[in-house]
Amino acid sequence: MAEIVNLNRMRKAKARAADESRAHANRVKYGRTKAEKENDRRASERSAQLHQGKKLEE
């Protein structure tokens, strides 16, 4: 005989597993540490300052 299962419980477990796998994919795709964000911000500020310093005065 087959084991009796609660279909609602199985459906919800399947949805939870799908949500967790989607969340993991998003963490890999979009997740950046605070240090990485800060490093990028500093690099863009430095680039802007260097560009501003090389502007010709009229």
The confidence score (pLDDT) of residue 55 equals 82
6 vs 51: CA distance, rounded Å:
65
Confidence of residue 58 (pLDDT cuts 50, 70, 90): low
- Token readout for 56 is 């010709």
**What is the value of pTM for the model shown?**
0.50
pLDDT digits (tens, 9 = 90+) for 15-55: 999 999 999 999 988 998 899 989 999 999 999 999 988 88
4 vs 9: CA distance, rounded Å:
12
25 vs 31: CA distance, rounded Å:
10
- Token readout for 36 is 């990485």
